[in-house]
Amino acid sequence: MIPFHDEKDNLPILIDGLQKELLQTGKKYEILLIDDGSLDTYLPSIQHFVNSDTIQLIKLNRQMGKGKALAEGIIHASGDAILFMDADLQDDPADISSFIKKIESGYDFVNGHRYTRKDNSIIKLYSLTARWFLHNYLHSPFTDINCGFKMFRKQILEDVALYGNNFRFLPLAAFYEGYRVGEVHVENKPRIHGKSKYGIDKLFVGLIDMLSAYFLYKFAEKPLHFFGGVGAILFGIGGLALAWVTYERIFMGVLLYRRPALLYAIFLVILGIQIIMTGIIGELIVYLHNKKKI
């Protein structure tokens, strides 16, 4: 499954290499090309491939992002196992056999580990930071969770939802659902044609997604632990400030209208209570949801 946007120079080379590699595996396969609103004239260069029974071209009406493209591809996928890879020629089709062997040995989700990164220093630093955060706070077993080269059993999607940008954390979601996960070393080649779609804006989005993943996987079943903790801290700070303002008024004669701290204290107390109540409502929703499952 290959999502792409403006990769006309890379697609013919990639498809040719893919077909040769997949034929060598002796496995039945289909190649899904998902056009995420490309503006270049790529179709003439791959038309002879698309006419094949094993290759399907899916076009989105506009650029909707990699996550939406992958979700659309999954709708059309008919196989029991799904392989994601990028269209920029940085993923080597020769590594596909390693994924297949790992899946056939009993793994449910196999993620790539780019041991030869060809990205710039900023992206490498971001990846190292993400790895440290996910390992220490979410106990991630993955070395390179952002690697777009991955393979998994389709049945995983019965327990793991694919939406928005959470395709980045599909390996982690599979791990938390109890599936057997693993990694294989993959080569990461330098991009030859076209421009990278991975800019500073994507790094920021990735950071937000990482915080979202932390909340979902740590507190989805126990929201009061998060909201209760934050609410209690704010309530405590506001309560202490309110107590101090009251002490000053009673024992030191300080006039309240000269103390804006009173308003801040009341605000923090009310905010803390509201956040705690949000956690309680979240607990009720989780309880009712799990009760319906039973």
The reply to whether the predicted model has a pTM over 0.95 is no
Q: Is residue 86 a contact partner of residue 5, using CB atoms and an 8 Å limit?
A: no
**Tens-place pLDDT, residues 227-236:** 999 999 999 9
Residue 123 pLDDT more than 90? no
Please give the pLDDT value at position 214.
Answer: 84
Instruction: Beginning with the edge strand found earlier in the chain, give each strand of the sheet holding 2-4 in spatial order.
Output: 2-4, 31-35, 55-59
Quick one: angle between helices 11-25 and 96-104, nearest 10? 40
Q: Where are the domains of the chain?
A: 2-120+144-196, 223-293
pLDDT value of residue 197: 65
Residue 293: pLDDT band (50, 70, 90) is low
Q: Tell me whether residue 138 is exposed, middle or buried, using C-beta atoms within 10 angstroms of its C-beta: 0 to 12, 13 to 18, 19 or more.
A: buried
- How is domain 2-120+144-196 classified at the architecture level of CATH? Alpha-Beta Complex (3.90)
For the purposes of burial, counting CB atoms within 10 Å of the CB of 163, is it exposed (0-12), middle (13-18) or buried (19 or more)? exposed
pLDDT in tens, 209-222: 888 888 888 888 88
Lowest-confidence segment of 89-103, 154-168, 193-207, 253-267 by average pLDDT: 193-207
